[in-house]
Structure 1
């Protein structure tokens, strides 16, 4: 019996317009009304995750930045897993040596050294998710929204925001269209035992502390709630979801999931544009579709 549902956001809970569909909203609220806990587990920052949830009228705990932070439903931070400073500096040096654009996630916010590159890489990321998501104009609009809504701040050099030792480093998010170089850098980063290196789409790398993973955060949340992992359903589509798929009793791959996710998961649902989260909730719980 499922007592806890953990869902990724991009490519999972959100459709290709970056919205939570009406069908997904109804299913999640139906689950919550029956006492099933619903947690969002995302690579996004809490602020980036909160916007589509607020728009959908959904309230739930959030595992953000791949497990670097866990927030309760009231918006209070419950746990933080920062990157060790020296290891973050090593990773930043390696990315710079290979001219790979990256963003810096701190507890105080998300930072970039280039607005132009921030625009370009978000468009590239959207294109990489499903070949070509919408028109070029629509992708530019979505990229502009991310910048204009304050999700990301711009600085001349990251070092200017790294002077406060109490402002923990939570993640480095790197992008490159040079997949050969990116793969080489990924392999080198993975040699560092203090780092967890994953991806949320082809062409990016997400670099966290080794204990900042969705699966670890989900296990901690379930334990605190007194819910056994065999009663947990986890839904996702990409490599940064694998750690929670490995520990959940009901690992569910989206229809649009990466090959590695589908290979690992026991169960599969429809795509994120076909309300896959809602369909999984109705299929694997006792809830009746409204």
Structure 2
């Protein structure tokens, strides 16, 4: 007999979305059907809430969202229900150090649903704004209030600059989580923030057991949730490490790999 799953957790980029950054129609229909049958479908991403709400609305999902790779969980009304911020002095020290090491690096601070930058016309910030449709807020990084509840710091820059920065920061800040989400993006957050911890909290919210959860992902920051879920699914386009961590490997995102699994387990 096929096992019953009662909650679905899905990464967005490279997983739910195809390479044109769209949700295929039949995937959308399947997710709506799952929702109507009382199965929560939860978006899980390194994005901020504002960068996820339009996708949730498109799916017709009325579920919480796991943002900043687990550092913030918001409920159906986008109110925070779980938060893991970086210690204020660590966030402040880190941002100052990035600027000292390489002033060309774009530093972006995310706190709750705010995206803070020094200059929104700066190349990387402007490009990120075009991709996400979110407009950042300009602030002075000298203001200590800026670092009060930092859920994520995103450093953007040329490939070589980001690689060098990662190497240096990992040495100097062993107490925080630092990883590249792509060659030009370095994501930094509290070591206590993880997608699996956020799912652990939400399974109680939904009254489901760990073995009744299903999770989809394609990248390094999805590994812990794929290992945690009752059924961990790696996309066909996932990295080898993600595939190794998964229970099953599905088709690539451009062939609706996620929908294929949903069709199989949710008739």
Q: What secondary structure does 2:181 align onto? A: coil
Q: TM (normalized to structure 1)? A: 0.81
Q: Are residues 1:74 and 2:100 paired?
A: no
| Deviations, residues 185-218 of structure 1 (Å, cap 9, x unaligned) | 3244345343122333233111111111111111
Higher relative contact order (CA 8 A, sep 6+): 1
In structure 2, what is the equivalent of residue 183 of structure 1?
163
Task: Choose the corresponding residue for 1:118, options 97, 106, 124.
Answer: 124
Q: CA RMSD in A?
A: 2.3
Matched, 1:98 2:111: no
Alpha-carbon distance in structure 1 between the residues aligned to 2:234 and 2:67: 20
Contact 1:201 1:238 in 2 (8 A): no
- Contact 2:116–2:139 (CA<8 Å) still a contact in 1? no
Q: Deviations over 1:14-35 (max 9, x none)?
A: 2223222212211212222333
Structure 2 equivalent of residue 55 of structure 1 = 58
Question: Where does the alignment leave 5 or more consecutive residues of structure 1 unmatched?
Answer: 123-142
Q: 1:57 to 1:103 in 2, by over 3 A?
A: same
1:174 partner SS? strand
Query: Take 2:96 and 2:125, find their aligned partners in 1: how far apart are those partners?
Result: 23
Alpha-carbon separation, structure 1, partners of 2:223 and 2:65: 17
Alpha-carbon spacing, 1:269–1:52, altered in 2? closer, same or farther (3 Å): same
Indicate yes or no: 2:141 matched with 1:158: yes
Q: TM-score, normalised by structure 2?
A: 0.87
The separation in 2 between residues aligned to 1:223 and 1:56, in whole angstroms, is: 23
Partner of 2:6 in structure 1?
3
Aligned residues: 260
Q: Summarize the Cα distance change of 1:93–1:47 in structure 2 as closer, same or farther, 3 Å threshold.
A: same
Distance 1:26 1:72 in 2: 23
Report SS of the residue matched to 2:263. Answer: helix
**Per the alignment, in what secondary structure is the counterpart of residue 152 of structure 1?**
coil
- Hey, what's the Cα distance between the residues in 1 that align with 2:245 and 2:126? 32
Alpha-carbon distance, 1:44 to partner:
0.6
**Stretch deviating more after TM superposition (268-277 or 112-121):** 112-121
Distance 1:118 1:249 in 2: 38
Residues 218 and 238 of structure 1, relative CA distance in 2, 3 Å threshold: same
* C-alpha contact 2:106 2:125 (8 A) present in aligned 1: no
Q: Is the 8 A contact 2:163 2:183 kept in 1?
A: no
> In the alignment, does 2:144 pair up with 1:144?
no
Deviations 1:19-60 (A, max 9, x none): 222122112122223332211111110011002222343332
Once the two structures are superposed, residues 122-171 of structure 1 have per-residue CA deviations (whole angstroms, 9 ceiling, x without a partner) of 4xxxxxxxxxxxxxxxxxxxx5364xx4x2324263334x4267x51110
* Higher mean displacement: 73-82 or 196-205: 196-205
* Match in the other structure for 1:109: 114
- Superimposed CA distance per residue, residues 197-251 of structure 1 (whole angstroms, 9 cap, x where no aligned partner): 2333233111111111111111111133332222211111111112211211211
